[in-house]
Homo-oligomer: A and B are copies of this chain.
Amino acid sequence: MDEYISKIRSGDLKLYALEKSLPADDAVSLRRKYIEEETGADLSAVGTYTIPIDRVVTRNIENMIGCVQIPLGVAGPLTVKGEYANGSFWLPLATTEGALVASINRGCSAITKAGGTEVRILRDGMTRAPIFAAKSVAHAAEVARWAEDNLLLLKVAAEETTNHGELIGLTTYTAGTSVFIRFEFDTKDAMGMNMATIASEAAAHLIEEETKAKLIAVSGNMCCDKKPSAINIIEGRGKTVSAGVFLSDELVSMVFKTNSATLAEVNTRKNLTGSARAASFGFNAQAANVVAAMFIACGQDPAHVVEGSNAITTVDLVEGGVYVSVTLPSLQVGTIGGGTSIATQNACLSTLGVAGGAENPGDNAKAFAEIVASGVLAGELSLLGALGAQHLGKAHRELGRGEK
């Protein structure tokens, strides 16, 4: 091993290329050793991973030195009545933030007692928006027009790069001489960013050839990937999902120790007025907590928590109770590709019955989206209730600090 390390130091061996000369586990082990020597840190903990990594080192990561282990908990059972997910689910939640699983669990309990969440997917499409430089605003208008008029040609070019993806539409935007073509794809059970990137690049080259506009970048930030943005909220990206549930006055009182009018007031003052006053794009209590915990558990791209957690929470005062809902305009999920086939993540998806591709392609990703939205609703309900009853601080004291 020391010999290898000498070669790395001397530059004869590339740190990133160890997998070419060694079995994966050995390469990882050697690289970790090297980093330990370089930094003086003890990395044995990250070295005791137990997942198979042969595919991981070619698909999921480079320069691997081991694994981080994230505690996994469950909340549930949660009754979900969607069009793709229908039944009772235990939510896998990977987190290190004490009190979170307990909070979601309380929400699941309330929802299940109330008969479950109604869920609907309102839109579905993964987007990528190349940016082109035109010569003038007139040229920019022509480029946009050409793309709009030649969707079929672009569809052919794009779909030659993929076995499963379909280009389902495009929208054009300009800012002076910059032209953005926002392509939208049906990526079935895959989250689909890579597929969309590759297919968009092919389409972009066709646009470049035909219009003589210069391709600046295959992503022009109107996609809009992993940045908070109004375009994703308004147009959607990935799945746009709503989940709702009616809670009777009795249930609110029993589970949350508060009443319907208070739940509505907390939501209006905090989630709507407070977020408005903060010029926020997020009108919810803790959507990001749930989305992050489920995404990490289930092998989703955690940077997609940025848009995935966009959510509006509403509480309608209705006859005999409240109708509470969340709407997530840009939930980007997949059950194949990315981290979904890693052993532990795949197990989490299996818990929900959505691992891998569905018989009817796309149905697993949709079912997963419905479950995530239902989980977000559970988190909202629970936190709204806790805030209403002013118990947040207390809950954190007990759970977050390890007190009993």
Let me know if A23 is at the binding interface, CB within 8 A.
Answer: no
**A197 to B19, alpha carbons, bound, how many Å?**
47
- Kindly identify, within residues 126 to 175 of chain A, every residue whose CB is under 8 Å from any CB belonging to chain B: 129, 131, 133, 135-138, 140-141, 144, 173-175
- The chain B residue with its CB closest to the CB of A302 is B292
Q: Are A309 and B301 in contact (CB under 8 A)?
A: no
Q: Are B393 and A197 in contact (CB under 8 A)?
A: yes
Q: Are A118 and B102 in contact (CB under 8 A)?
A: no
12 extra A-B contacts, CB within 8 A, seeds A60-B98, A219-B285, A221-B278: A45-B51, A53-B71, A56-B71, A58-B402, A96-B338, A137-B242, A140-B242, A176-B323, A176-B326, A218-B393, A227-B287, A229-B280
Indicate if A345 sits at the interface (CB-CB under 8 A): yes
Do A178 and B227 touch (CB < 8 A)?
Answer: no
User: Contacting A271 at CB < 8 Å: which of B140, B221, B305?
Assistant: B221
The answer to whether A281 and B281 touch across the interface, beta carbons within 8 angstroms, is yes
Kindly supply a per-residue 1/0 record for chain A positions 217-253, scoring 1 wherever the CB is within 8 Å of any chain B CB and 0 otherwise: 1111110111111111111000000111010000000
Please indicate the chain B residues that have their CB under 8 angstroms from the CB of A234 in the complex: 173, 230-231, 234-235, 277-279
- List residues of chain B with CB within 8 A of the CB of A219: 270, 285, 387, 392
Min CB–CB distance A160 → chain B (angstroms)? 13
**Cβ of B68 and Cβ of A296 under 8 Å apart?**
yes
20 contacts between A and B (CB under 8 A): A35-B90, A35-B351, A62-B73, A63-B75, A65-B92, A67-B94, A67-B344, A68-B345, A141-B242, A174-B327, A175-B314, A178-B314, A194-B396, A216-B270, A219-B392, A227-B275, A227-B284, A227-B287, A227-B309, A276-B276
A388 to B131, CA, bound (A): 11
B273 touches A175 (CB 8 A): yes
Q: Is A13 an interface residue (CB 8 A)?
A: no
Say whether B312 contacts A273, CB under 8 Å: yes
CA distance A327 to B179 in the complex (A): 12
Interface size class of A (residues with CB under 8 A): 35 or more
- Identity of the chain B residue whose Cβ is nearest the Cβ of A404 in the assembled complex: B58
Is A339 part of the contact surface with B, judged by Cβ < 8 Å?
Answer: yes
Which 7 A-B pairs rank lowest in CB-CB distance, beginning with the nearest?
A96-B339, A227-B282, A228-B228, A230-B230, A221-B274, A176-B325, A229-B280
Interchain CB contact under 8 A, B400 and A59:
yes
State the CA gap A277–B231 with chains docked (Å): 9
A297 CB within 8 Å of chain B: yes
State whether B265 touches A216 (Cβ < 8 A): yes
- A99 contact set on B, CB distance < 8 A: 62
Chain B residue at smallest Cβ distance from A301: B97
Closest Cβ neighbor of A225 among chain B residues: B286
* Residues of B contacting A273 in the complex (Cβ-Cβ under 8 angstroms): 175-176, 178, 272, 283, 312, 314
Bound CA span A229–B50, Å: 40
Which one of B62, B282, B327 lies within 8 Å of A102 (CB-CB)? B62
A399 touches B (CB below 8 Å): yes
Given contacts A42-B350, A402-B58, A63 and B68 within 8 Å (CB-CB) = no
Q: A120 vs B174: C-alpha distance in the bound complex, in angstroms?
A: 11
Cα A285 to Cα B66 with chains together (Å): 27
The verdict on A206 contacting chain B, using a C-beta distance below 8 Å, is no
A95 proximal to B (CB < 8 A): yes
Would you call A306 an interface residue if the criterion is a C-beta within 8 Å of the partner chain's C-beta atoms?
A: yes
Q: Does A390 sit at the interface, judged by CB under 8 A? A: yes
Given contacts A45-B343, A175-B314, A344-B69, contact A286 B226 (CB under 8 A): yes
Chain A residues numbered 33-84 whose CB sits less than 8 Å from any CB in chain B: 35, 38-46, 48-51, 53, 55-75, 77
Given A276-B275, A281-B279, A323-B136, are A59 and B98 also a contact pair (CB < 8 Å)? Answer: yes
